[in-house]
Structure 1
């Protein structure tokens, strides 16, 4: 079934969507009709099945209910959309409700065994898995430097995930003389044979030296050890070509639509 792009897309829809099995402390899952809603994290999250099964005025009402929930909480919310989802006018209706699209990413899927291997590291670089709170803050500081905005929330998010389900997430860092120069994490979906590759950021001065590829290989090796077959990445325009060369296949796109309450 997963030997074709259609098969990989079907596997994505059936096995890789949704929310983690173990939620961090303080995060609440709620079901509202066809969508799943998470509250209590750095920003809320809404996602649905490939076909929401509602359209027109009913869809507008569903969107309005999410805004009302997060307005009452004073929280921003991300509605995660995919390029193949239905109804096709969901993005248009989200924009009409005040949601703002962020960068579109490509969803790529590859076989863990084909991506695994002994990572080739430049001289002076070490790669290790980290779990300490202080290391999560170092990762967040690196991400802040890469993206140019405050990623302090990321440290809190990773710390909470590790506390909630330490066997379901593995954070890896590449270090040079004790400085975190690149990082990425593996998030397992127990019982599905799948996992996600997240993060994958590198300081500008260290790009072009194979660190991104090394982090992919190291995380894929961990995934194989946990019985994972398929790996998923939501890739930026910069990362997607590298991942294609490594053997991952594009199956769809994903665009976060973000709504921020007035004054938020």
Structure 2
């Protein structure tokens, strides 16, 4: 199962599948260079053997020069995976001034196996943002909760986040509320042209963890994914989220480590 999931991931989600939402994207040899509306740049490629070791140093130098001289981004991310080649890719990126961020685990599961009933604590309700509440207000409150959990500062604008969720089912935000307060939230984003949807931005307030709320949120998003005709669900998760997603039925297939460059 893991090998089948990994093959589907490499075939469908790498390269072009990762830059579909970019405001600008271009090919450079085996690489994709992209810029997103949150001011970030992004670098990826289609498969684990796409960047030969003898060429990678030149490609990294060319990538740094591109984002430094031909764009206005303040930072870019080169997304690596644990099964990437060359094996010393991370060391080569560091040698060119990039810094490794936190390693995450790539998790994949069948949507049909994840859409199961999960009992919620009394008083907790799971719903899609904009259904039973105003969309912009739901997004604002969910972002405030996620910022509290992750400690993040300003990033993508509220307007851009709301626009992504407007007039389409392809991107959805789901909330868990207790007493009118958002205690957990996460997005479902279908990847066009693939069998996948991503589970992104999942977070639960510390005082509400361990009660099955995030598993219920995952189940709700899995059911919504099935309605969209999705087969697989994928998430890049932290060590905190991995056990929850494993209990929900997702399988660890590889790791991913972002290497970050920032304009000095």
The TM-score normalised by the length of structure 2 is 0.89
Q: Where does residue 259 of structure 2 map in the other structure?
A: 257
Q: Structure 1: any 5+ residue segments left out of the alignment?
A: none
Alignment partners' CA distance in 2, 1:192 and 1:173: 25
Aligned length: 255
Q: How does 1:74-153 map to 2 (within 5 A)?
A: 74-131=73-130, 132-153=135-156
Residues 118 and 133 (structure 1), Cα distance of their counterparts in 2 relative to 1, 3 Å cut = same
Alignment partners' CA distance in 2, 1:108 and 1:40: 24
Structure 2 contact 218–248 (Cα < 8 Å) conserved: no
- Aligned partner of residue 167 in structure 1, secondary structure: coil
Per-residue deviation, 1:162: 2.9
Alignment partners' CA distance in 2, 1:120 and 1:190: 32
Deviations 1:150-175 (A, max 9, x none): 15536455234335x83321110111
Per-residue deviation, 1:245: 2.2
Matched, 1:197 2:193: no
Matched, 1:219 2:221: yes
The TM-score normalised by the length of structure 1 is 0.89
Deviates more, 1:223-232 or 1:62-71: 62-71
Structure 1 contact 21–189 (Cα < 8 Å) conserved: no
- Aligned partner of residue 239 in structure 2, secondary structure: coil
Alignment partners' CA distance in 1, 2:146 and 2:154: 6
